[in-house]
Structure 1
Amino acid sequence: MASIRQLDPIVASRIAAGEVVERPSSVLRELLDNAIDANATKITVHVEDGGIKSLTVIDNGSGMSAEDLELACTSHATSKVRTLDDLFNLKTLGFRGEALSSIAACSRLTINSNGNRITVDNGVQGKVVPGSIELGTSVTMEGLFENIPARKLFLKRPQSELAECRKTFIEKALGSEDIEFILIADGELKYHFEKADKTARALQVMSLDRSFAGAQPIQMSYEGDNLSLFAVCSDPATYKRDRTQIKILVNNRIIDSFQFVQAIYNAYSAALPGGAFPFFYLFITDNPSLVDFNIHPTKRECKLRNQSQIYGAITNMIRKALINKTYETDERTAPQTPLFEEPSSPAPAPVKEEIHEPRPSYGQPRQASSSKQFDPSWFENAKAILERGKDTKEPEKPQQAPSRASVEISTTKIVPEYRYVGQVFDTFLIVELNDRLLFIDQHALHERILFDEIKALKDVQRLIVPYEFEVERSVDEYLQENSVLYSDFGIELTRKEPLLWEMASMPAACRKNEDKIVSFIQTQTGDIETMQKDLFAIIACHSAIKAGDRLDPVTANELVKKCFQLDRMVCPHGRDFTYSISKEDLYKQVGRLI
């Protein structure tokens, strides 16, 4: 008897739906694409319970006839592609003909359009009947995954699903400035974007981030063969500590592109402090024949035949604009207290941090704005480690007692005689040791020092406002049984409700790294030994001095001294952070006889 057979149509459609429909925001993405492709000038979205209960998209576009409605929810039915050539010259957001059939396979979908209505209930299609909407289209999705309990378990809380819907809504509005967008959630108006030009729409979206308040926007543009670029961005005085406000749109579709984000970051690097990212919305208009979106179900990725041309155009456009605007990284006073030096006063004055000088220079330096203070977290975190022992004084000496971790390290090994030569590339420390030159990775070294000291100290700081976060169901179950494991690290976790936890305390050395700790908790279900090592490694890595941070000689010397006090010169991730070359080998390299 044959073992291979064709799948039941409903089973096949639900398998296909798994690639397109992950959560309510996936449904919203596809319905908004259809509304935009229908040449709508106004789109209204209604969301209930984060879209889990229902989600409705109403547009005033061209709509569908009764004949179109009968085919709309069948597999691979579309009005946007006719031939294979059309697939390589796409001018619409949708093109596969899978969206409505996939949504209808795992929910109850009702479409009202141009006086007709049809309902498809979890793959079972009804007849076309008279509808209530004369012009345009209304699509309502209800009961997502109700007939697929295993899939429904992976949905998050309604508040989280709503957050994802809002993100999708904003992204679609950003790429379609000539359309009015309205989002209503549980009867409450959340967003209303009026029609605008690209600049105004981009600023509407940027302004949703509070850190953009008071920023000075910049416009940039580039025109080339088959390609045009337009960008709306912040001046270097306004920036983020992450990439969340760098958005790339290709032919009005937002995409994920590490290469283009890196191009933006590199071009801005001379005008921003290390580890800072601008607000930057880039609109790329490319020849459709050079773009292929048919590589991922969510269409968040694309292949570009002229990617290198675009990369170069982005870099040149930004650098030219910054030069014309004469922006430069703000200069500030160097710290008066070196990183590892204990001040003699028990209550030291606030320390101003140092920013390494920019590599090329754009114009003249500006005065630092009091509302835009640069506050590198590595300095504060590192000082927190070394200030633990300040409250205890030795009876015979006026100086503060060193921290317990420093005592433990200093008694294990004798520091050899060495000569600190200097710092190169703002990344490596060079030391002359006997007849060898030693190159030390400053970030990996400091990471190792912090790793050992954090493990030894375990000082705990309670949070004034507990940090709430969500977890997947598997992590939720794990934490219910094992959250006490984190208390050994000073991390107090409490379950507020299913899938929602809060962190009430954390290691004191981890200030400003709450999000890194939470991200770790959200993904871990391992044993305590592995968890401890990985957690402390993450904390140390994000608190340590970074590559690109310029160090004063006193700080660098203290780092080198502590390096020689370590048992092993490897970072917490197991990577060697030193490289040495002998005097003899160096002489040979330059052709000098000893």
Structure 2
Amino acid sequence: MTSRKIEVLSPRLANQIAAGEVVERPASVVKELIENCLDAGATRIDIDIEQGGVKLIRVRDNGRGIGKDDLPLALARHATSKVYSLDELEALNSLGFRGEALASVASVSRLTLTSKPAAQDTAWQVSAQGRDMAVDLTPAAHTDGTSVEVRDLFFNTPARRKFLRTEKTEFNHLEEVVKRQALARFDVGFSLSHNGRTIHALRPAATPAEQQRRIAQLLNPDFMNNALVIETERAGLTMTGWVGLPTFSRSSADMQYFFVNGRVVRDKVIAHAVKQAYRDVLYNGRHACFVLYLELDNAAVDVNVHPTKHEVRFRDQRLVHDFLFSQLHRALAEYRPDGQSLTADSTIEAMPPKATGLAAGEFSGQSSLSMNEAPTAQFANAAGSHSIAQTANGYAQQSSGVTEQLAAYQQLVTPADQPQTQSDIPPLGFAVAQLHGVYILSQSEHGLIMVDMHAAHERITYERMKQQYDQQAVQAQPLLVPLSLSLSEREADVAEQFAELLLSFGLVVDRIAPETVSIRQVPVFLQQSNAAELVRSVLADFVEHETSDAILAHRNEILSTMACHGSVRANRQLTVPEMNALLRDMERTERSGQCNHGRPTWTQLTMKDLDKLFLRGR
């Protein structure tokens, strides 16, 4: 290859190269223009789109505007009003600042910029064609604020235009940009139209109710019905927003919005912290939903690490990660069926409930009722094998008052575990029946509660075992007669190699032959389980992870496996006191709304739902 002389790029080519960094598609243009509007103090932004943004993008605001003398500079490279020094760059508090966004857009489109500051009598307009970047300055008619009109995007770079998708796809990307900005700035009104049709018309949202209404309009009304409110502050970090309950999850990460100092960001530290917080309650392959806002000192975050400013870099990543994880983890853990949870330095509240049938997530706090208003007719063992007559007789024979129910329950729990008052209907109500040996049916203040008894007991056992393990005190019970178990030689090797680790999980397993072990002790919570199957499952996990460090890193998975073996199985008939004891345990246990695998443990049908099923009131 022959050597070529080094030459300075022409302004047009330099702008087109810069455009490749910040103008990927129409959505990229809209993002840059909206950020400029917000930096100008706009409280109203109107976006008009034609043909997915390829034919026309028009963004108009009521901000401070640009003076006549500054208009030509607005389309010049490396010209900005937002950063004058390195100190300002390192503590940036504006959204757009790179200095070449408008110049880049103008280099690949036909751009017109019209603006009028309030102190200026007349509006002025500049326009530029992509070919020569020559700027024409003319008077124009315009109210206070600025309008940017971008036509024929990539008209002079056909290779770039070929990479654009269909009109619908490009508009979907563009609409997502508007959604994110509308979620970032509740104080600003937004409107979006496409091909003359209004898509969004959002007024400024000042109150919490108005903000929740905007989120429901932009995302999904069900999100607000299944969300916890987060308000927490620590070590100079403040986090507010909404996180979806684990029972309200998505197959993709399309309902995850995180904002740092008002800027929409995607960050690996944030993503990992949130994923870890949901790890113990989310079903495999599902994604959490959240709208969260993190505020911190501008100097503690670097936003100039990516051309599009989607990514940030925290100066103390560990602090941010631990703060996010601990606060979200605690919020999810402390949420109870009564729908309220308060901590010393944070407030976590459930949104007001709205019944959505069997798919409803959680429900609100229960108000007090007098004793004689509580359910008085209870029955159990109403499995499918019972005849109608047997069920009716069982109902009559087992009818009892709430006082008797609580007396029976008191025999199953310690005094410290008892409810503080006995005059209230508990959040999960009182058991009235067991269905096919699988589900507990309970009458609550608001209607019918259905509980998957195995899933619920599995979570309760799992949480207790985790707590004991963390305290290095897994309560164990020696077997009256040691149990001999045949294994593969590899499994027996693992049992011998990791005997001390097995002991930390409450298991004592001795090797007595090349392919035989003796089980001498199991955790108290699991004494009713099949000890042989329990040990086989735990050893299988040990074999998979191979090293002690890997085993400890996956200790929750191993404890979850053990808890599954120790939980009540399907088709086991429970008495009414046993069912009520399980309901009370659920109300006291962290994360009891989901089993160890992320499935919901209970749901409800309100009286309104039941009336609808039977067409009552029509």
Q: What TM bracket, shorter-length normalisation?
A: 0.5 to 0.7
1:154 aligns with 2:167: no
Q: CA RMSD in A?
A: 4.1
**What percentage of residue pairs aligned between the two structures are identical?**
29
Q: Which residue of 2 aligns with 1:360?
A: 463
CA gap of 1:185–1:436, structure 2 versus 1, over 3 A, is farther
Q: Which residue of 1 aligns with 2:151?
A: 142
5+ long unaligned stretches in structure 2: 117-122, 340-360, 363-427, 429-433, 439-451, 466-486, 496-501, 518-535, 546-556, 566-618
1:130 aligns with 2:132: no
Distance 1:221 1:94 in 2: 28
CA gap of 1:127–1:442, structure 2 versus 1, over 3 A, is farther
- What amino acid sits opposite 2:125 in the alignment? R
Q: Which residue of 1 aligns with 2:188?
A: 179
Aligned positions of 1:91-240 closer than 5 A: 91-114=93-116, 115-122=123-130, 123-197=132-206, 199=208, 200-201=210-211, 204-210=214-220, 212=222, 215-240=225-250
Q: Which residue of 1 aligns with 2:266?
A: 256
- How many Å apart are 1:105 and its aligned residue? 0.6
Deviations 1:358-387 (A, max 9, x none): 75379xxxxxxxxxxxxxxxxxxxxxxxxx
Distance 1:207 1:270 in 2: 30
- How many Å apart are 1:232 and its aligned residue? 1.4
Distance 1:69 1:150 in 2: 30
Deviations 1:77-134 (A, max 9, x none): 1000011111011110011111000000100100111111111110522321011213
Aligned positions of 1:439-458 closer than 5 A: 440=540
CA gap of 1:110–1:268, structure 2 versus 1, over 3 A, is same
- How many Å apart are 1:323 and its aligned residue? 4.5
Pick one of 73, 80, 83 that aligns with 2:82.
80
- What amino acid sits opposite 2:271 in the alignment? V
State whether residues 202 and 281 of structure 1, in contact with CA within 8 Å, keep that contact through their aligned partners in structure 2: no
- How many Å apart are 1:195 and its aligned residue? 0.8
Q: Which residue of 1 aligns with 2:36?
A: 34
Distance 1:265 1:287 in 2: 25
State whether residues 233 and 281 of structure 1, in contact with CA within 8 Å, keep that contact through their aligned partners in structure 2: yes
Aligned positions of 1:239-250 closer than 5 A: 239-250=249-260
1:50 aligns with 2:67: no
Aligned positions of 1:401-550 closer than 5 A: 435=515, 440=540, 550=561
State whether residues 488 and 515 of structure 2, in contact with CA within 8 Å, keep that contact through their aligned partners in structure 1: no
State whether residues 181 and 192 of structure 1, in contact with CA within 8 Å, keep that contact through their aligned partners in structure 2: yes
State whether residues 108 and 143 of structure 1, in contact with CA within 8 Å, keep that contact through their aligned partners in structure 2: yes
- What amino acid sits opposite 2:237 in the alignment? L
- What amino acid sits opposite 2:129 in the alignment? D
CA gap of 1:279–1:548, structure 2 versus 1, over 3 A, is farther
Q: Which residue of 1 aligns with 2:593?
A: none
CA gap of 1:124–1:334, structure 2 versus 1, over 3 A, is farther
Distance 2:217 2:80 in 1: 37
Deviations 1:313-360 (A, max 9, x none): 2223224434543269999x99999xxxxxxxxxxxxx9996863753
Deviations 1:236-275 (A, max 9, x none): 4422233322221101111112322222232234444444
Distance 1:417 1:231 in 2: 53
CA gap of 1:66–1:334, structure 2 versus 1, over 3 A, is farther
Distance 2:40 2:14 in 1: 28
CA gap of 1:277–1:57, structure 2 versus 1, over 3 A, is same
- What amino acid sits opposite 1:250 in the alignment? V
State whether residues 207 and 213 of structure 1, in contact with CA within 8 Å, keep that contact through their aligned partners in structure 2: no
1:292 aligns with 2:293: no
- What amino acid sits opposite 2:75 in the alignment? C
Distance 1:24 1:49 in 2: 10
State whether residues 248 and 255 of structure 1, in contact with CA within 8 Å, keep that contact through their aligned partners in structure 2: yes
- What amino acid sits opposite 2:313 in the alignment? K
Distance 1:153 1:228 in 2: 44
For the residue of structure 2 that corresponds to 1:298, the secondary structure is coil
Deviations 1:258-300 (A, max 9, x none): 3222222322344444444332111011101111111101101
- What amino acid sits opposite 2:128 in the alignment? V
- How many Å apart are 1:74 and its aligned residue? 0.5
Distance 2:101 2:436 in 1: 58
Distance 1:207 1:550 in 2: 41
5+ long unaligned stretches in structure 1: 338-350, 363-414, 446-545, 554-594
- What amino acid sits opposite 2:60 in the alignment? I
Deviations 1:14-73 (A, max 9, x none): 111111101000000000000000000100000100001110100000111111111000
State whether residues 107 and 129 of structure 2, in contact with CA within 8 Å, keep that contact through their aligned partners in structure 1: yes
Q: Which residue of 2 aligns with 1:8?
A: 10
1:306 aligns with 2:408: no
CA gap of 1:434–1:310, structure 2 versus 1, over 3 A, is same
| Greater C-alpha Rg | 2
- What amino acid sits opposite 2:18 in the alignment? A
Distance 2:453 2:167 in 1: 44
CA gap of 1:190–1:419, structure 2 versus 1, over 3 A, is same
State whether residues 263 and 315 of structure 1, in contact with CA within 8 Å, keep that contact through their aligned partners in structure 2: yes
CA gap of 1:214–1:74, structure 2 versus 1, over 3 A, is closer
Deviations 1:199-223 (A, max 9, x none): 5435523554447267233211222
- What amino acid sits opposite 1:174 in the alignment? L
CA gap of 1:316–1:8, structure 2 versus 1, over 3 A, is same
State whether residues 65 and 113 of structure 1, in contact with CA within 8 Å, keep that contact through their aligned partners in structure 2: yes
- TM-score using structure 2 length: 0.55
Distance 1:224 1:354 in 2: 35
CA gap of 1:2–1:190, structure 2 versus 1, over 3 A, is closer
Aligned positions of 1:334-345 closer than 5 A: none
Distance 2:275 2:148 in 1: 40
For the residue of structure 2 that corresponds to 1:278, the secondary structure is coil
CA gap of 1:353–1:192, structure 2 versus 1, over 3 A, is farther
State whether residues 248 and 256 of structure 1, in contact with CA within 8 Å, keep that contact through their aligned partners in structure 2: yes
State whether residues 179 and 218 of structure 2, in contact with CA within 8 Å, keep that contact through their aligned partners in structure 1: no
Distance 1:27 1:19 in 2: 11
For the residue of structure 2 that corresponds to 1:357, the secondary structure is helix
Distance 1:38 1:179 in 2: 12
CA gap of 1:418–1:291, structure 2 versus 1, over 3 A, is closer
State whether residues 112 and 148 of structure 2, in contact with CA within 8 Å, keep that contact through their aligned partners in structure 1: yes
Distance 2:214 2:105 in 1: 31
- What amino acid sits opposite 2:248 in the alignment? T
State whether residues 246 and 261 of structure 1, in contact with CA within 8 Å, keep that contact through their aligned partners in structure 2: no
State whether residues 334 and 352 of structure 1, in contact with CA within 8 Å, keep that contact through their aligned partners in structure 2: no
State whether residues 246 and 278 of structure 1, in contact with CA within 8 Å, keep that contact through their aligned partners in structure 2: yes
Distance 1:255 1:335 in 2: 49
State whether residues 418 and 434 of structure 1, in contact with CA within 8 Å, keep that contact through their aligned partners in structure 2: no
* Count of residue pairs brought into register by the alignment: 385
